[in-house]
Copies of this chain bind each other. A is one copy, B any other.
Amino acid sequence: MSNPPYPEINSKRLWRRHLDMAKIGGTPGGGVHRLALSDEDIEAHLLLAEWAGVHGFSTDLDSIGNMFIRRAGSDPSLPPVASGSHTDTQPLGGRFDGITGVLAAFEALETIHEAGIETRHALETIVWNNEEGSRFIPACMGSAVYAGGEEVSDMLAREDRNGVTMGSCVGALKKALPQAGSRELGAPIASFIETHIEQGIELETNGNTIGAVTGMQGYRRFEVHVIGEDAHSGTTPRARRKDAFAAASDMTRALRELLWDEEDEIRYTVGRFEVLPGGISVVPGRVNFYIDLRYHDAGKLDALGDRIPEICRAHAGPCEVEINEFIRQAPMAFPESMIAGVEQAAARHGFPHQRIYSYAGHDARHAARLCPAGMIFIPCWRGISHNESERAEPDDIAAAAQIVTDMLIDQAV
């Protein structure tokens, strides 16, 4: 499968590791429910650390709960060459989102280690904490903090729905891994390559195994609070209503018109929309909703997003409206060297490949602030993700791990 000096990965071991990991938080529906730093997610970290210990790889944790499995290099003054992704999942998520990138990275470390290849740089498998953002907001928390995009103290204070803080969860992780060393936030990394399922249908449609990711669309997220007045649905005429539902739905529809494009490239989603108090016979006095807007062009994303507050206000009717933008990330491009590195490795092994754009957000966005970063996409059955029926093929997973192996060797030797 591979040419010297690139050792061949062990695809059977890699698949077995996938099956082992899928048991941790495995659901009756065949998916995985492993929220960030839940008991299950900590168990996944422990299993990885246990595998690492077999080879004498060290394990470090930083203050936001990112984990670094390290195979030492011959020159301790050089920063590590790294790969990885995340172990957490969405609620009732799949068996491949995140963990594929972690296991590909770990397989690369094992393969290189077993081949006895000495590297000048250390090699690392990184598990970024809380990529999904479903238990703790925001998503990509660990990589963002590491790269300086979020304040660690602010993030450690974030609470889940039960009032449990990220700080206490990181404490639990450290307690579960007493042997782990300590890693400074922002400590230099030489390069970072992340494998991930595509979560789209482009590779599947084109029959390609590997996508060399060129960049990631930007996104802006807004929370909108519409404040009307609760009223009796039988006695209150339209003229005296301050119906927050009617106003909020007018806003979302006007935004749908604004954000409609012939090319079908603008991604506009209202995924959370809460109507209060929620009585069938009560004109609702309050709606809280959230806008997720994504696009690949920075200028147009800026221009469109900037119009959201004015559109909401124009459709508020008799209600008050408060709008707050709580996340904003510009579109980004990976360096050509990393994109080409993926392509070259894919060509070397005869994997059908293409360049591809990422419409989802990933930790590599933040890693790219620190070092040359890139991503490898593999196909994902029918594009279905964040879903128990998410599926990726063992051969595609193995192909990605092989490319990671090649790239780590190229950059670390």
Contact = CB atoms under 8 A, between A and B. Distances in A.
B230 A386 contact: yes
A234 B219 contact: yes
Given A139-B281, A280-B290, A281-B139, A232 B271 contact: no
Scoring A134, A219, A279 by chain B CB atoms within 10 A of each residue's CB, the highest score goes to A279
A190 B128 CA distance: 75
A356 to B, nearest CB: 11
Tallying the copies of this chain within the complex gives 2
Interface in A105-141: 133-134, 139
Nearest to A198: B235
B237 A264 contact: yes
Contact of A279 (B134, B217, B274, B277): B134
A233 interface: yes
Interface stretch (A9-17, A45-53, A74-82, A245-253): A245-253
Contact of A273 (B221, B275, B283): B275
Contact of A249 (B249, B260, B387): B249
A215 interface: no
Contacts of A234: 199, 217, 219, 267, 292, 294, 359-361
A231 B269 CA distance: 10
A195 interface: no
Interface in A350-371: 359-361
Contact of A233 (B134, B260, B271, B274): B271
A175 interface: no
A235 B359 CA distance: 5
Contact of A272 (B240, B270, B279): B279
Contacts of A387: 230
A336 B319 CA distance: 42
B252 A294 contact: no
Given A91-B277, A282-B386, 14 more contacts: A200-B232, A201-B240, A221-B280, A233-B292, A234-B292, A234-B359, A234-B361, A235-B383, A236-B267, A243-B269, A246-B270, A269-B281, A272-B279, A280-B292
Q: Which 9 A-B pairs have the closest CB atoms?
A: A233-B269, A235-B359, A234-B360, A200-B235, A273-B275, A249-B249, A280-B290, A237-B264, A234-B359
16 contacts: A90-B282, A91-B277, A134-B279, A199-B232, A200-B235, A232-B359, A232-B360, A232-B386, A235-B383, A236-B383, A245-B273, A246-B270, A249-B249, A253-B253, A269-B281, A269-B283
